[in-house]
Structure 1
Amino acid sequence: MNIDQLETPVPVIDLDRVERNLAKMQAYCDQHGLKLRPHIKTHKLPQFALRQLALGAGGITCQKLGEAEVMADAGVTDILLSYPMIGPIKAARLAALAKRVSMRVVVDNPVALETVASAARQAGAEIGVLVEFDSGGKRTGVVTVDEALALAQAIIATDGLRFDGLMTYPSSAETARFVAAAKQRLGGEGIEIRIVSGGGTPNVWHQHEIEGLTELRVGTYIYHDRATVGAGVAALDDCALHLHATVVSRPTENRAIIDAGSKSLSSDRVAPSVGEGYGLILEYPDAIIERLNEEHGILDLTHSARKPAIGERVRIVPNHVCVVTNLHDEVVTSRNGLVEATLPVAARGRTR
């Protein structure tokens, strides 16, 4: 089947572009001595996780236990959970995973640490732990080296846990400063920092410049999107996932409606310097997807010299592709304009 025959809205993935993106990132990490641990939250597909591992990745990163469970079921054996686990239910699920595969988790507080310790006790298996620190993103993560030291000491003192190092997101110049101070402080206490895990596709080609980084967690690079193109780390020709949509109405000369709304496209915006609206329409780059209702995408055609007709199909580069993946039960893979397969997004909706 030709991809133009697919019913819309539908995410279509160009496998040749995926393969090129995966190979390029692995080559970058290999060149600079970084361990690649790709984040699967972008694609949520076991097939792609296994391909990343086959190309040389040293393991994968998951954001939630549900994602990790899906990947473990598919045969992935080395998983980092980059999100803090809190409470007995999470401990029981983490324990079940730790019995099957090599698990590493992150903590930034004693409550999360106790959850992981409980999991290790239940599993009778060792769990590696990274202490997360804040590199300026002002999200999770300890904010002082003394806090990192206290957690590292608590991890070392806890049966079943192994202190592996530090983690942050996004990695930046501040990362190097924190790591240098932490190595001096923890080293003075006889504690080795074996791993420093950083991440973020938007500045990925500069990660090797961050002193002390040993591991790279990136996800969006497999597909890229309007945001990573705007950040200068990819070109439009690198974008491997397009949302195909159909123009279903033209109420006025300068307004068109497509069959892709907030249930198909991310509501995330990009920087004004990158563009307006909720995605880039490749056939009509001057059109603006100015509003999203649940099933309607409203296009402003004022600045578009050419205007689409009712029934015309368009391809959209999403602003944030990770969200688009999670909105769809299935994705279609293709080569040279022909459909290869329809794949269930196995880890879709795994928010716990």
Structure 2
Amino acid sequence: MTSRIETPAVLVDLDLARRNVEKFQAYADGHGIRVRPHIKTHKLPYMAEMQLDAGAIGITCQKVSEAEAMIAASERITDVLITYNIIGEAKLARLAKLNDKVKLSVVADNAVVVDGLSAHFSKVGKPLAVLVECNTGANRCGVSTPDEAVELARRIAAAPGLAFAGLMTYPPVNGAAAVQQFMSKARDLIEAKGIAVPMITSGGTPSMMDAAEAPIVTEYRPGTYIYNDRSLVARGACGWEDCALTVLATVVSVPAPNRAIIDAGSKTLTSDLFGQTGYGHVLGRPDISIDQLSEEHGRLVSQGEIGLTVGQRIRIVPNHACVVVNMVDEVQIVHGEEFVAAWPVVARGRIT
């Protein structure tokens, strides 16, 4: 029973996680879209294998060290995309070792990164596949125009040690139309230069059920979908019943009729807000707000009597599941209220 789990703890309902994975996989299969889930949400080899079992063609990682951890932990992980500009000889040497082990691809959005990759991989045996990252509205990384995508694609295709592998974007929410417009123009311009565009990859959980509205996209990279969180409920992407990850916390103080303190603070629940008010949703108690966090305490308040007692346990859907997972050494796998096992978070803290 979950009553035996020490708090604060991160719980993952494996059945819910599997249901979430299979739901999107069915959608993607129905529209001819390959799925390459981002493992930064769960950081667990078993979860990645569950996604592969459902039909995923590979995984996405954000950092070299994340890919190293996942590849080392599972022989079934053989196709990896790292969606990050990789700079520096130390990282490039590690990248080359991974490239020898699996089918590996990376992204770049500038000539400095491309030239650095080429300088290293021109000296080793196996070429590295590189995609051009494109900014389709999220305004983070990525070339700004299809014309810039063409120039960078040509640079990659001509670079010793590299192979041009396609186009990549992380779009804004509800950005399918912008992705379709940008990628269609970029692909046509690149192909007009005699360069094939093998893959066009997009991603993001909030708009994943609209992925087919950008038919130019050949694969999709959802991440948080496996667990879901409060931010996705707020965006209408899922319901509370779809949230596979919760934080189990204990009430340690009730110092006022409308106020209680729990043993989960910013080191457990994360201070991420994503435009929301409060730091999580207490399941079954929509009248309670988590209005304040210190490192080890969370403050719960209500308009009326809070109705909690010292020693009582509550379950909270955090604002951002990905960060919560990265703050704990292990997650507690449950089936409803039944404890199943504790799984170490293999890729925790892999930020290089």
Quote the Cα distance in structure 2 between the aligned partners of 1:201 and 1:183.
Answer: 24
Find runs of 4+ consecutive structure 1 residues off by over 6 angstroms.
Answer: none
Contact 1:98 1:123 (C-alpha < 8 Å) held by counterparts: no
Contact 1:135 1:168 (C-alpha < 8 Å) held by counterparts: yes
TM-score (norm 1): 0.95
Match of 1:326 in 2: 326
| Identical-pair percentage | 47
- Paired AA for residue 71 in structure 1: M
The offset of 1:242, in angstroms, is 0.7
1:187 equivalenced with 2:191 (yes/no): yes
- CA 1:307 to 1:115, structure 2 compared with 1: closer, same or farther past 3 Å? farther
Quote the Cα distance in structure 2 between the aligned partners of 1:184 and 1:155.
Answer: 17
Contact 1:84 1:112 (C-alpha < 8 Å) held by counterparts: yes
Quote the Cα distance in structure 2 between the aligned partners of 1:5 and 1:177.
Answer: 53
Question: CA offsets per residue over residues 9-54 of structure 1, 9 Å max, x none?
Answer: 0011111101111111111111111110000000000111111112
Contact 1:269 1:278 (C-alpha < 8 Å) held by counterparts: yes
Quote the Cα distance in structure 1 between the aligned partners of 2:234 and 2:227.
Answer: 14
Quote the Cα distance in structure 1 between the aligned partners of 2:120 and 2:330.
Answer: 33
1:231 equivalenced with 2:235 (yes/no): yes
Alignment of 1:8-23 (within 5 A): 8-23=7-22
TM-score (norm 2): 0.95
Quote the Cα distance in structure 2 between the aligned partners of 1:333 and 1:119.
Answer: 42
Residue 267 of structure 2 aligns to a residue whose secondary structure is coil
Residue 201 of structure 1 aligns to a residue whose secondary structure is coil
The offset of 1:191, in angstroms, is 1.9
- Paired AA for residue 351 in structure 1: I
The offset of 1:123, in angstroms, is 3.9
1:168 equivalenced with 2:169 (yes/no): yes
Alignment of 1:61-140 (within 5 A): 61-73=60-72, 74-75=74-75, 76-140=77-141
Alignment of 1:279-294 (within 5 A): 279-294=280-295
Q: How many residues of Structure 1 are paired with residues of Structure 2 in the alignment?
A: 347
The offset of 1:116, in angstroms, is 2.2
The offset of 1:117, in angstroms, is 1.9
The offset of 1:266, in angstroms, is 1.6
The offset of 1:306, in angstroms, is 4.7
Moved more, 110-119 or 293-302: 110-119
Contact 1:39 1:60 (C-alpha < 8 Å) held by counterparts: yes
Quote the Cα distance in structure 1 between the aligned partners of 2:70 and 2:275.
Answer: 33
Contact 2:251 2:261 (C-alpha < 8 Å) held by counterparts: yes
Moved more, 140-149 or 216-225: 140-149
The offset of 1:119, in angstroms, is 4.1
Quote the Cα distance in structure 2 between the aligned partners of 1:260 and 1:186.
Answer: 51
Contact 2:7 2:250 (C-alpha < 8 Å) held by counterparts: yes
User: Which ranges of structure 1 fall in alignment gaps of 5 or more residues?
Assistant: none
